[in-house]
Amino acid sequence: GLKAEIVEFESEAISRVVFGDTEEKQSYLIADIGRMTTLLFVYGPHGICFSENFDFAGEVMTNEISKKLNLDFAQAEKMKIEHGLSLATDSKGKNRVLKEIVKDAIIEINKVKNYCEEQEEKTIKELVLVGNGSKVPFLAEYLEKETQLKIKAAREMSDFVNGKKKLSPAKMKMISRVSLGVAFRGLASKPEEESINLVD
């Protein structure tokens, strides 16, 4: 059977794709907003110092829109993709609904930021957004306004795909930052020594 040689944290793999081999001199807060949960972690000069998952994600937003506005899932998803967190509130208050949903995420981001600054003595000025859930219109602008953190956009996954043939959006979704980060580690001359190995 197969034997695991290397096991690492999801946050380690993601940070390898986001930051590459550069030695960062400051600490960043990274939010990987997925389909069901968000992975929030702090990355800095000495690697990962904090990591947690919480229930805020693309499908969570869609379900809340569906429930609060009495729409089916497809209608709610369409509204989220087309309108997002538009700062202009319409007559029916639809945009207020999304802002209410995002409120818990803002509380969590600020809590982690404050903890790391007070307990770990790390100054955090930037928030890096990754994951398909981070592409909701106006989400980045709203998070920047409410957290007072400058938003740093991660490179698109398409930037890492070489060759003349362009992959379809459906195929691009199959390539995750985690799998790419693990692959990058595998390319190192001594991958087992590249970072933390949970097999040891």
- How are beta strands 27-33 and 124-130 bridged, if at all? parallel
Q: Which amino acid makes up residue 200? A: D
HSE-CB of 32 using CA atoms within 13 angstroms: 19
Where in the chain are the domains?
Answer: 22-156
Name the one residue in this structure whose structure tokens are 């890492």.
160
Predicted local confidence at residue 139, as pLDDT: 92
Q: Quick check: 87 pLDDT over 50? A: no
Query: Can you say whether the dihedral through the CA atoms of 114, 120, 122, 127 is positive or negative?
Result: negative
Find which of 12-21, 53-62, 77-86 is predicted with most confidence, using mean pLDDT: 53-62
pLDDT tier at 18, thresholds 50, 70, 90: confident
Predicted local confidence at residue 88, as pLDDT: 46
Higher pLDDT pick, 69 / 153: 69
Architecture of domain 22-156: 2-Layer Sandwich (3.30)
Q: Which amino acid makes up residue 98? A: L
Q: Quick check: 21 pLDDT over 70? A: no
What is the share, in percent, of the chain residues with pLDDT greater than 90? 28
**Contacts (Cβ under 8 Å, ≥6 apart) of 57:** 33, 34, 35, 36, 37, 38, 133
Kindly state the tokens that stand for 143: 């998070």
- Quick one: residue 163, left, alpha or beta (phi over 0 = left, psi -120 to 50 = alpha)? left
Q: Report the 3 state secondary structure along the chain.
A: CCCCCCCCCHHHHHHHHHHCCCCCCCEEEEEEECCCCEEEEEEECCEEEEEEEECCCHHHHHHHHHHHCCCCHHHHHHHHHHHCCCCCCCCCCHHHHHHHHHHHHHHHHHHHHHHHHHCCCCCEEEEEEECHHHHCCCHHHHHHHHHCCEEEECCCHHHHCCCCCCCCHHHHHCCCHHHHHHHHHHCCCCHHHCCCCCCC
Higher pLDDT pick, 64 / 164: 64
Q: Quick check: 193 pLDDT over 50? A: yes
Question: Are residues 117 and 124 in contact, defined by beta-carbon separation less than 8 angstroms?
Answer: yes
Determine the Cα–Cα distance for residues 186 and 200; give it in Å rounded to an integer: 17
The mean predicted confidence, pLDDT, of the chain is 77
Predicted local confidence at residue 6, as pLDDT: 59
Higher pLDDT pick, 171 / 99: 99
C-alpha distances out from residue 35 to 10, 122, 169, Å:
15, 29, 16
Least confident residue range of 21-25, 47-51, 119-123, 134-138:
21-25
Q: Quick check: 31 pLDDT over 90? A: yes
Q: What is the pTM assigned to this prediction?
A: 0.75
